[in-house]
Every structure is written in structure tokens, then in C-alpha cells.
Amino acid sequence: MPKTVLVFGSNEAGIHGAGAAKEAYTKHGARWGKGYGHYGDSFAIPTKDEDIQSMPLERVVQYVIGFLAYATGHRKLTFRVSKIGCGLAGFTDEQIAPLFCDAPKNCEFDSGWAQWLGPDRTYWGTF
């Protein structure tokens, strides 16, 4: 069975104090002070900057592109993507979900994004 990695919205300071970030830190090996990347059974994608302010969507896009490249290169892992940026960062599902339209098949998504990603995706439920 493939190893499952929780993908969560983070901040560039790596302060994982609430929501999926806190879950990733307490239960999935996210590292305090590390705001982007694969640590333990988690992958952080920043949606807030080092001052814990929501960053422009264009910056989030760049981090998502990096994640998608990583997921493509690590097909033996299953990435369980939460609705990054759609809580405390203040983005909408409509803004963020389409960024994952070209995600590889080893990515599973929060079922709340089904209307944007379509029926051919795998959904894991919701956080």
C-alpha cells in the first residue's frame, strides 16, 4: 500500500498552529519552522507569508506548481490534498481548486473540490 502524505496549507514561517497545519504538525511529521516541502508524512504549501499574512494568489500558484512537480516525481506516494488556503488564508475553493487540475493521479482531493476537479479524480473526504 502506498505511503499517504497529507498536503496542507502553511505559512512561509512554518508556524503550524491551526487547522490542517496543526494536524500535520501533531500527527503527520510536519516540521516547525519549515513552511514548504515534504517532512514526515506531510507536505506544506504556503498560502501565507512569513508575517502570517495571506500572500498574493500568484505566489501560491508558484508553490502549487512546485508541489505538482514533486508529486509527479514521487508516484509511489499518495498525496492527500486538503483545501489549502481556503480557511484562514481566505482564498475560495473556486480560486484554489483549479490550480490542481493537472495534478498527477497519485493526488487525492478533499471532496469539497469535486465540482472544480471533476468526477475522474479520487476524493478522500474532507478535513
pLDDT per position as a tens digit, 72-119: 999 999 999 999 999 999 999 999 999 999 999 999 999 999 999 999
The proportion of the chain whose per-residue pLDDT surpasses 70, expressed as a percent, equals: 99
Q: Which helix (H) or strand (E) holds 65?
A: helix 57-73
- In this prediction the pTM is 0.97
The proportion of the chain whose per-residue pLDDT surpasses 90, expressed as a percent, equals: 97
Residue 29 belongs to a domain with what CATH number?
3.40.220.10
pLDDT per position as a tens digit, 8-57: 999 999 999 999 999 999 999 999 999 999 999 999 999 999 999 999 99
Q: Structural domain tally of the chain?
A: 1
Instruction: Enumerate residues 6+ apart whose C-beta is below 8 A from 124.
Output: 80, 108, 109, 110, 111
Q: Could you list the residue range(s) of the whole structural domain that residue 100 is in?
A: 3-125
CA 86 to chain CA mean position, Å: 10
Residue 1: predicted pLDDT: 65
